[in-house]
Amino acid sequence: MEQKKVALVVGARGVIGTNLVEHLESLPDWRVIGLSRRGGVDTARVRHVAVDLLDPDDTRLKLSGLTDVTHVFYVAYQDRPSWAELVPPNLAMLVNVVDAIEPVARGLRHVSLMQGYKVYGAHLGPFKTPAREDDPPHLPPEFNVDQQQFLEQRAAAGTWEWSALRPSVVGGVALGNPMNLAVGIAVYASISKQLGVPLRFPGKPGAYDSLLEMTDAGLLAKATVWAATSPAAANQAFNITNGDLFRWNELWPKLARWFGLEVAPPLQMSLATVMSGKEGLWKELQATHGLAATPYADVSSWPFADFVFGWDYDFFADGSKARRAGFHEYVDTEAMFLTIFETLRRQRIIP
């Protein structure tokens, strides 16, 4: 019988980490340890550990007893104001985790790294589409690249393998996360309805017509576990996408319709600016509809939404490498958005 697998999910409270923990918990042959700064509520098969990953001593102390870990799933992220400033903390956290877990977890088999299209320079401006895993690199700084190089070098000297997953914008339900586009759209639409105004696309004019894709958090969780356990995926990077493409000019009216809203012509505006003074209105909306007392800060991803809505260029990658290696899951993006909205409504986050 195969040895039981023990997952260490680093960054367990974000959109990606939350869904990954839930997926692993649903599988019969996994135990899960979740690392995050805030910690969490333990269950029968999931134990949470609060840790400051930027502190090597705290990381070493908190991980010193995790001797039975077999797979590390690294999905942590620290935000910073500039691309260059992202490198030191995000590389340091990964290094601290590997430095702490490798000496004590003698049965370690795999380290999985969560990346993104920054590897292709997608955050800098128009890039080659569809992006492919073997596309040439761009000039640094780029922490995703530094992290992968670190894992490649460390794995070569060790006894474990690595994989890297590259999703597009991830859709899922996790509050208090700075990069949650779907929740941002849901709150923007709910407040627009409360104010009796149509749902206008707030991005750059060209962004309304660009070709994009997204990655469902549940699908990404399945792909992450597949890559960490499939011999065909060892020591490789994979683009992970829903499998379809869309333009906001077609999808936006459908999202508005779900909220019972009309659309009006796009109007470029910064959501970080226009939504910054809406906390009182949010509380009023909660009181009117009997919603959960979710802090406005926990549903405010406005800078990230502005970033995504500013892509006035095509933004997609080729996901066929993962399919050739054996991963065949697919999610319809429109259905993904509506499922997220329904979940938020069921949880009394939005009316």
Question: Encoding tokens for residue 34?
Answer: 């979740």
Residues 222 and 276 both lie in one domain: no
Please spell the DSSP secondary structure of 45-64, one letter per residue. SEEEEE--TT-HHHHHHHHT
- Asked, for residue 271, whether it belongs to a domain, the answer is yes
**148 in the same domain as 10:** yes
Write the CA distances from 284 to 59, 199, 213, 236, 346, integer angstroms. 42, 20, 34, 49, 19
At 178 the pLDDT is: 78
One domain, residues 177 and 163? no
Residue 33 lies in a domain: yes
Q: Could you tell me the two tokens for 64?
A: 């010193």
pLDDT of amino acid 139: 96
Chain segment 203-229, per-residue pLDDT in tens: 999 999 999 999 999 999 999 999 999
| CA distance readout (Å), 217 to 22, 40, 118, 135, 308 | 11, 19, 18, 25, 17
CA distance 20 to 23: 5
Burial class (CB in 10 A: 0-12, 13-18, 19+), 140: exposed
Pair 21, 118 in one domain: yes
Residue 228 is part of which domain span?
A: 5-170+215-240
Q: Which residues of the chain are under the pLDDT cut of 50?
A: 1
At 169 the three-state DSSP class reads strand
Non-local CB neighbours of 43 within 8 Å, separated by 6+ positions: 25
Does 115 map to a domain?
yes
| pLDDT at residue 175 in the model | 85
The beta strands (E) that lie in the chain are given as 5-10, 30-36, 46-50, 71-74, 110-114, 161-167, 169-171, 199-200, 214-216, 236-240, 263-264
pLDDT tens digits, 113-168: 999 999 999 999 999 999 999 999 999 999 999 999 999 999 999 999 999 999 99
Residue 62: inside a domain, yes or no? yes
Residues 149 and 280 in one domain: no
Same domain for 131 and 159, yes or no, is yes
Number of other residues whose CB lies within 10 A of the CB of residue 284: 13
- The answer as to whether 155 is a domain residue is yes
pLDDT at 18: 94
Residues 227 and 192 in one domain: no
Please give the pLDDT value at position 103.
98
Ramachandran quadrant class, 128 (left: phi over 0; alpha: psi -120 to 50; beta: rest): beta
Same domain, 165 and 200: no
Q: Which of 85, 131, 97, 79 is nearest to 237 (CA)?
A: 131
DSSP structure class, residue 38: S
The structural domain count of the chain equals: 2
Give the DSSP letter of residue 328. Answer: -
The owner of tokens 């909660």 is 286
Nearest residue to 337 via CA among 207, 173, 115: 173
CATH of the domain at 102: 3.40.50.720
Torsion of CA 195, 198, 202, 205, to 10 degrees: -160
Asked if the bond preceding 28 is cis, omega within 30° of 0, the reply is: no
Q: Is residue 122 part of a domain?
A: yes
- Let me know whether 250 and 230 are in one domain: no
Q: In this predicted structure, what is the pLDDT of residue 1?
A: 44
Q: Report if residue 351 sits inside a domain.
A: no
39 contacts 49 by C-beta, under 8 angstroms: yes
Are 317 and 219 in the same domain? no
| 201 shares a domain with 53 | no
* CA distance linking residue 337 with residue 242, whole number of Å: 12
Residues 228 and 108 grouped into a single domain: yes
